Chains A and B, each alone.
Chain A
Amino acid sequence: MIGTGLRAFFALAIAIGFGFVGPAQAGATFDKVKQAGTLVCGVNPGLAGFGQPDNQGNYKGLDIDVCKAIAAALFGDPGKVKYVPLTAQQRFTALQSGEIDILSRNTTWTLQRDTELGLNFGPVVYYDGQGFIAPKKLNVKSAKELNGATICVQPGTTTELNLADYFRANKMTFKPLVIEKLDEVVAAYFSGRCDVYTTDRSGLASTRIARAQNPDDHVILPEVISKEPLAPVVRQGDDQWNDVVRWVVYALIEAEEVGITAKNIDEKLKSEDPGIKRMLGVTPGTGKSLGLDDKWAYNAIKAVGNYGEIFERHVGKDSPLKLDRGINALWTQGGLMYAVPIR
């Protein structure tokens, strides 16, 4: 029981020690997934809004919909996904060893992960930033007042590093309490063992709503101490697969921009707009370039809706989290969501 990372480690050791076929050849994952007929997707075991099983055991969330959209683009069926719940520590080894085909688990895109871990990141699906949550009775108004505080944090996260950086930059000290399991680290915070808990602000909102006995007893401090662009991840050197992931996500964003929703998509098939006709496969071509059916984008959008619908359903105004679109709005509305041309 030396940490749950061990299981993933052995998977990696066996895959890498005995395996002859690295996924270096282009198309390895793409062919494997097509052949298997299911997409194996690494997800968060329990972060409301991003990846969490509901009371029937079905995974729900923004990251989950990314997996569903890709499965729909590949197979025409969003249900052909096998979800593998992973802790922050297990996630990269699981991807490196080939246990999963794609990691869609609120993962921050950083230089070190992109290069040294042998990974590639898809388009950002949620622009987040790290923050702090504190009990209201602690009477803390700003993160700058946290000198000497005990802070709960999960290991193997950029959060852990940003936290140390922030306190160093502000010449303050703190004591981290580092626990891998989300349940345990959150329980430690609610029991008062830590003064504050830190993670991405979306995660804080999710924790406050879904896990606090009384959400009003806790406040999220105003400071955003880091940039956390959360993106799906694939193995490096697997270009065709990377392309599929990237363009499916762009199709979801583009759909919002041109006003295609899961509801109106069949009417939009009759649209005269050449851009829409190309994207939905009425004018053939885009599918062939990706190695997919021309209906790939149609299937993806039909299955999960456009990016805006996904956002509002899981983390926005139709969800308990009630997060604002903020910088996750379309670029046309002052946000950062921008799909490159699908042509």
Chain B
Amino acid sequence: MARDTAAAESRPKRPPPWHDPAVRAVVFQILFVAAIVALGAFLVHNTLLNLRRQNIATGFGFLEREAAFEIGESLIPYSPADSYAAAFLVGLTNTLYVAALGIVLATILGALMGLARLSGNWLIRKLAQIYVEIFRNIPLALQLFFWWGVLRWSAPAPGRAWQPLPDVFVSNRGIVFPMPEAHAVHSWLLLALLAGIAAACGLARWARQRQARTGQIFPSGWFGLALIVGLPLAAFVAGGAPLRFEVPALRGFNFVGGGVFSPEFAALLVGLVIYTGAFIAEIVRAGILAVSAGQSEAAMALGLTPWQRMRLILLPQALRVIIPPMTSQYLNLTKNSSLAVIIGFPDLVSIANTTINQTGQAIEGIAMIMAVYLAISLSISLSMNLYNRAVALVER
């Protein structure tokens, strides 16, 4: 007890608050935040004041008004009689569609090219290098114009469309192909697919635990694949296999029916995939090279097959290096999709631009574009960070 008091007395006296670094730090942070908030409030207030003084309409009320403009391609039903909000949603789905497809395809292309750059074959290695160096170093906007021009000028008019496969037509209106007609059973297929994926995951988990317990290996990969493919197939057959294709046909100016990839969509997707793929190839190459050769040699010494070596030893270590820069590439691809506007694909920015011009509400429109891209980017970032945590080195 006596020692405690002595210790308390020997401790230096608490300095006055204005000399206390802890207090000061908090105070400065509060002041800083307050200044930022005040600046923001001033800007918003002043903006509204000036807009009112200039008699410019403000607020988001315009979203409910009839848009009255047509949109070239849409994944969801839309007509000019719908609201600006509906038009905005069309733009959003188009952006998400091209970004999602782009990310998947760019990853595949990038991974292949990254592996090709490490190939023992001189020709493959050099071709991959040429690909990377060319497409990484040309501005994306130029590449988009290039692909769009190629598709537009090289493809024939609809009346003289190429027919590479039965009922598939390639013209300067795009690639038109037969689409399965919607049927009630098809929604069951989706459920069966989800069930199959869940079952495959459960199976893999069980197999891992069994292997840990008994050392016996269960080919869960093959069985899982069988589940994922088999369940929907079984549901399809059980439902009476209802499959009718809506076949495109040339009627008047254009093909009617079936699905279509327009030249604008195709140019955007190809441009984004090839451009981003070049960056991903380098990331993948760097990731694999980052794993020391000793790891590979040790795995060989243990007698692992090449596939096991890749899956169990190299990939887990390479992914730790690959995932963080990959996240940036996914974000880049998503944001770069806004270049759609220059080649006339109706993405979010294109439709927001039109909306801004028809309503004159630029500030609201741009705020919505920014909010949407922020939300998409943060979602990608979040899921990639979660994945990164899953593959990160676990320190014990």
A and B assemble together: yes
Interface residues of B in 96-141 (CB under 8 A from A): 141
Q: Which residues of B contact A15 (CB under 8 A)?
A: 50
Determine, out of A185-193, A304-312, A323-331, the stretch whose residues face the partner at the interface: A185-193
Tell whether, in the assembled complex, residue B354 and residue A160 are in contact, meaning their CB atoms are under 8 Å apart: yes
Query: Would A12 and B254 be within 8 Å (CB), given that A22-B50, A117-B56, A178-B354 are in contact?
Result: no
Tell whether, in the assembled complex, residue B153 and residue A191 are in contact, meaning their CB atoms are under 8 Å apart: yes
Query: Would A116 and B360 be within 8 Å (CB), given that A24-B54, A237-B54 are in contact?
Result: yes
Tell whether, in the assembled complex, residue A178 and residue B72 are in contact, meaning their CB atoms are under 8 Å apart: yes
Tell whether, in the assembled complex, residue B353 and residue A118 are in contact, meaning their CB atoms are under 8 Å apart: no
Tell whether, in the assembled complex, residue B70 and residue A19 are in contact, meaning their CB atoms are under 8 Å apart: no
Tell whether, in the assembled complex, residue B68 and residue A13 are in contact, meaning their CB atoms are under 8 Å apart: no
Interface residues of B in 77-103 (CB under 8 A from A): 80-81
A124 to B66, CA, bound (A): 28
Q: Which residues of B contact A163 (CB under 8 A)?
A: 70
Tell whether, in the assembled complex, residue B55 and residue A236 are in contact, meaning their CB atoms are under 8 Å apart: yes
Q: Which residues of A contact B54 (CB under 8 A)?
A: 16, 22-24, 96, 118, 235-237
Nearest CB in chain A to that of B54: its residue = A118
Tell whether A167 is near chain B: CB-to-CB under 8 Å. Answer: yes
Interface residues of A in 1-22 (CB under 8 A from B): 1-3, 5-6, 8-9, 12-13, 15-20, 22
Tell whether, in the assembled complex, residue A237 and residue B50 are in contact, meaning their CB atoms are under 8 Å apart: no
Interface magnitude class on chain B: 35 or more
A191 to B356, CA, bound (A): 29
A160 to B357, CA, bound (A): 11
A93 to B71, CA, bound (A): 24
Tell whether, in the assembled complex, residue A180 and residue B68 are in contact, meaning their CB atoms are under 8 Å apart: no
Tell whether A211 is near chain B: CB-to-CB under 8 Å. Answer: no
A239 to B172, CA, bound (A): 51
Tell whether, in the assembled complex, residue B360 and residue A195 are in contact, meaning their CB atoms are under 8 Å apart: no
Smallest CB separation, A59 vs chain B (Å): 23
Q: Which residues of B contact A157 (CB under 8 A)?
A: 357
A23 to B56, CA, bound (A): 12
Tell whether A141 is near chain B: CB-to-CB under 8 Å. Answer: no
Tell whether, in the assembled complex, residue B50 and residue A16 are in contact, meaning their CB atoms are under 8 Å apart: yes
Tell whether, in the assembled complex, residue B363 and residue A13 are in contact, meaning their CB atoms are under 8 Å apart: yes
Tell whether, in the assembled complex, residue B357 and residue A148 are in contact, meaning their CB atoms are under 8 Å apart: no
Q: Which residues of B contact A291 (CB under 8 A)?
A: none
Tell whether, in the assembled complex, residue A1 and residue B141 are in contact, meaning their CB atoms are under 8 Å apart: yes
Q: Mark A34-66, 1 if CB is under 8 A from B, else 0.
A: 000000000000000000000000000000000
Nearest CB in chain A to that of B335: its residue = A2
Partner of A164 from the list B69, B338, B344 (CB cut-off 8 Å) is B69
Tell whether A149 is near chain B: CB-to-CB under 8 Å. Answer: yes
Q: Which residues of A contact B346 (CB under 8 A)?
A: 178
B68, B344, B359, B363: which has the most chain A beta carbons within 10 Å? Answer: B344
Partner of A17 from the list B46, B81, B264, B356 (CB cut-off 8 Å) is B46
Tell whether B299 is near chain A: CB-to-CB under 8 Å. Answer: no
Tell whether B43 is near chain A: CB-to-CB under 8 Å. Answer: yes
Query: Would A155 and B357 be within 8 Å (CB), given that A118-B55, A118-B56 are in contact?
Result: yes
Interface residues of B in 125-165 (CB under 8 A from A): 141, 149, 152-153, 157
A177 to B350, CA, bound (A): 11
Tell whether, in the assembled complex, residue B71 and residue A176 are in contact, meaning their CB atoms are under 8 Å apart: yes
Tell whether A221 is near chain B: CB-to-CB under 8 Å. Answer: no
Tell whether, in the assembled complex, residue A165 and residue B55 are in contact, meaning their CB atoms are under 8 Å apart: no
Tell whether B251 is near chain A: CB-to-CB under 8 Å. Answer: yes
Tell whether B252 is near chain A: CB-to-CB under 8 Å. Answer: yes
Query: Would A96 and B56 be within 8 Å (CB), given that A160-B354, A191-B172 are in contact?
Result: yes
Smallest CB separation, B262 vs chain A (Å): 8
Tell whether A113 is near chain B: CB-to-CB under 8 Å. Answer: yes
Smallest CB separation, A44 vs chain B (Å): 15
Tell whether, in the assembled complex, residue B172 and residue A164 are in contact, meaning their CB atoms are under 8 Å apart: no
Tell whether A184 is near chain B: CB-to-CB under 8 Å. Answer: yes
Tell whether, in the assembled complex, residue A2 and residue B341 are in contact, meaning their CB atoms are under 8 Å apart: yes
A311 to B53, CA, bound (A): 37
Query: Would A176 and B70 be within 8 Å (CB), given that A89-B353, A150-B253, A156-B354 are in contact?
Result: yes
Tell whether B27 is near chain A: CB-to-CB under 8 Å. Answer: no
Q: Can you show 30 pairs from A to B with CB atoms below 8 A apart?
A: A3-B341, A3-B349, A3-B353, A5-B357, A9-B363, A12-B363, A16-B363, A18-B43, A20-B46, A89-B356, A89-B357, A96-B54, A112-B360, A116-B360, A149-B253, A150-B254, A155-B350, A156-B357, A161-B69, A164-B70, A168-B81, A175-B70, A176-B70, A177-B264, A191-B149, A193-B152, A193-B173, A195-B253, A195-B254, A237-B55
Top 4 closest pairs, chain A to chain B, by CB: A156-B357, A22-B53, A118-B55, A117-B360
B contact residues vs A (CB 8 Å cutoff): 43, 46-47, 50-51, 53-57, 68-73, 80-81, 141, 149, 152-153, 157, 172-173, 251-254, 256, 263-264, 338-339, 341-344, 346, 349-350, 353-354, 356-360, 362-363, 366, 369
Given A149-B253, A164-B80, A175-B73, 19 new contacts (CB under 8 A): A2-B338, A3-B341, A3-B350, A3-B353, A12-B363, A19-B50, A23-B54, A92-B360, A96-B56, A116-B360, A118-B56, A148-B251, A155-B353, A161-B68, A164-B68, A175-B72, A176-B70, A184-B342, A192-B172
